[in-house]
Amino acid sequence: MTYRIRNLLVAVGLALVAMLLTLYYVTNYKRSVQDSQKSAQVYVASHDLPAGTAGTDIVKQHDLKVVSMQRRDVVPGAISSPSQIAGLVLSQEVYSGEQITTRPFTDVAAQGIRAQLKGTMRAVQIAGDPNQVLAGTLQPGDHVDLVANLHLQTSSTATATRIVLRDLTVLSTGSSAALSKSASPSGTSSVILAVTDTQVQRLFYVVKDADWTLELRPVLNAVDSPERVETLDTILREGVR
């Protein structure tokens, strides 16, 4: 084989390789273009979703809708099922029509008490002796009533007792060693309650100007008796003809 023929064969071989590589590239490119033009179903917000909205509420209230779009327009991290956000909470606002991804969500546990507050709900911490706040008994998630012994304005000694707030949710419990020195030998404990923005006024009044205590409600099928006010007169006359 002459030198010229050998070079010719090498050139032909290289040309074939280049042609095959070009054909492979063109084929893959066409395939990728076709794939990008295929439609895909994604979840988008049906309306503006404010920060702090729980994923479970978004799913239950049908705040998502399914739309079809080209695959190339699907953003990275787009969810394929609403269950992916069920245990999360929005950390930033999502706007109407925006594709839903896991990026603007955070874990509910990371939000702590904040994740449990919605709308008019507020968190208030009150401190009292262990008997008042049921120290050692109350746990987050329990429900309590607030009982108060109120001093009547018509008399410096006359009082009346009633349940002033019902079915308050316990968000957290704890104790304050700093307060224990000036409170009682057993120390002062604290509890964080969930109240509405109007209930907090009554709660604050009772804590500041009355004797009070919390009472634990049943876990299941709690029932409230008719409202009543107890005074010295009603207690003495109860059951007496």
Q: Are 143 and 222 in contact (CB under 8 A)?
A: yes
Domain boundaries, the chain: 39-112, 118-219+228-237
What per-residue confidence (pLDDT) applies to 111? 66
- 105 by DSSP, 3-state: which? strand
What per-residue confidence (pLDDT) applies to 187? 67
**Across the strands, what pairs with 190?**
127, 174
Tokens of 162: 């009633």
pLDDT over 80 (residue 193): yes
Which one of 3.40.50.2300, 3.90.1210.10, 1.10.3720.10, 1.10.620.20 gives the CATH number of domain 39-112? 3.90.1210.10
Its pTM surpasses 0.75 = no
What per-residue confidence (pLDDT) applies to 241? 77
Report d(CA 192, CA 113) in Å as an integer. 9
**Across the strands, what pairs with 41?**
68
Q: Are 216 and 144 in contact (CB under 8 A)?
A: yes
Number of Cβ within 10 Å of residue 133's Cβ equals: 25
**Across the strands, what pairs with 147?**
163, 213
Q: Give the mean pLDDT of 165-177.
A: 80
What per-residue confidence (pLDDT) applies to 175? 52
pLDDT digits (tens, 9 = 90+) for 128-160: 999 999 988 988 889 999 999 988 776 667 888
pLDDT over 80 (residue 127): yes
pLDDT over 80 (residue 237): yes
Handedness of CA 221, 213, 192, 120 (dihedral sign): positive
| HSE, side-chain direction, 13 A CA sphere, residue 237 | 5
What per-residue confidence (pLDDT) applies to 177? 41
pLDDT digits (tens, 9 = 90+) for 92-118: 899 999 999 988 888 766 667 777 777
